[in-house]
Structure 1
Amino acid sequence: MFIPPKNPSAELWDGPRTGVEGVKELFAADEAFDSGRFPMFIKDALLAKHVFMDSPVLEPSILANNTVKKMVDIAKTQRSIKPLSAIVQELRIIKSDNEIEIMKQSGQISAKAFIEAMKWTSPEFTESQLWAKLDYECRMRGSSMLAYVPVVASGPNGLSMHYVRNDMKMNDGDLVLVDCGGEYNGYASDITRTWPINGKFTEPQRELYQAVLNVNKACIKLCTEKANLSLHAIHSVSTRLMKEELAKIGFKVNTWELERILYPHHVGHYLGLDVHDCHDLDRSRKLKRNMVVTIEPGIYVPFDDRFPKKYQGIAIRIEDNCVIGAEEPYVLTATAPKEVVDVEFCCANTN
Structure 2
Amino acid sequence: MAGIRAAAALVRPGVDERTLQGEFERACREAGAQSIPFTPIIKSGPNSLWPWRVLAAHYNRRNRTLQDGDLVIFDVGCEINGYVSDVGRTFPVNGAFTEIQREKLLVSTRAAEAVIAAVRPGVTLRELTRVAYDAIPDEEAPYMQTPSFFGHHIGLSTGDPSLLDEPLAPGMVFTIEPWYYNHDLGVSVFVEEVVLVTEEGAEVLTDALPRDPEALEELVP
TM-score with structure 1 setting the length: 0.58
Give the drift of 1:295: 0.6
The equivalent residue for 2:179 is 298
Partner letter of residue 193 of structure 2?
A: D
The equivalent residue for 2:65 is 169
**Aligned equivalents of 1:129 and 1:135: distance in 2?**
10
The structure 1 segments of at least 4 consecutive aligned residues displaced by more than 3 Å after TM superposition are none
**Aligned equivalents of 1:212 and 1:140: distance in 2?**
31
SS of corresponding position for 1:288: coil
Structure 2 portions without partners, runs of 5+: none
2:126 matches 1:232:
yes
Question: Do the aligned partners of 1:231 and 1:269 also contact (CA within 8 Å) in 2?
Answer: no
* Aligned mate of 1:140, from 11, 30, 33: 30
The equivalent residue for 1:98 is none
> Residues 127-179 of structure 1: CA distance to partner in whole angstroms, max 9, x if unpaired?
11111111111111111121111211101211212234531111111100110
* Aligned mate of 1:214, from 90, 96, 110: 110
Give the drift of 1:316: 0.6
Partner letter of residue 184 of structure 1?
A: I
2:165 matches 1:284:
yes
**Aligned equivalents of 2:48 and 2:103: distance in 1?**
17
**Aligned equivalents of 1:243 and 1:230: distance in 2?**
22
> Residues 71-109 of structure 1: CA distance to partner in whole angstroms, max 9, x if unpaired?
xxxxxxxxxxxxxxxxxxxxxxxxxxxxxxxxxxxxxxx
* Aligned mate of 1:269, from 117, 139, 152: 152
Cα root mean square deviation, aligned: 1.5
Q: Superposed, which structure 2 residues align to 1:90-101 within 5 Å?
A: none
SS of corresponding position for 1:315: strand
* Aligned mate of 1:327, from 200, 210, 216: 200
* Aligned mate of 1:191, from 68, 81, 87: 87
2:65 matches 1:202:
no
Q: Superposed, which structure 2 residues align to 1:240-251 within 5 Å?
A: 240-244=134-138
Partner letter of residue 187 of structure 2?
A: I
Question: Do the aligned partners of 1:235 and 1:268 also contact (CA within 8 Å) in 2?
Answer: no
Partner letter of residue 196 of structure 1?
A: P
TM-score with structure 2 setting the length: 0.91
Partner letter of residue 242 of structure 1?
A: I
Give the drift of 1:264: 2.5
* Aligned mate of 2:10, from 120, 136, 141: 120
Give the drift of 1:282: 2.1
SS of corresponding position for 2:174: strand
**Aligned equivalents of 1:236 and 1:157: distance in 2?**
29
**Aligned equivalents of 2:64 and 2:105: distance in 1?**
23
**Aligned equivalents of 2:124 and 2:39: distance in 1?**
28
Question: Do the aligned partners of 2:181 and 2:188 also contact (CA within 8 Å) in 1?
Answer: yes
Question: Do the aligned partners of 2:125 and 2:163 also contact (CA within 8 Å) in 1?
Answer: no
SS of corresponding position for 1:149: coil
Q: Superposed, which structure 2 residues align to 1:302-313 within 5 Å?
A: 302-303=183-184, 312-313=185-186
> Residues 46-75 of structure 1: CA distance to partner in whole angstroms, max 9, x if unpaired?
xxxxxxxxxxxxxxxxxxxxxxxxxxxxxx
The equivalent residue for 1:96 is none
SS of corresponding position for 1:120: coil
**Aligned equivalents of 2:5 and 2:40: distance in 1?**
16
Percent identity between the aligned chains? 29
Partner letter of residue 156 of structure 1?
A: P
Give the drift of 1:342: 0.9
Structure 1 portions without partners, runs of 5+: 1-110, 245-251, 304-311
SS of corresponding position for 1:113: helix
SS of corresponding position for 1:128: helix
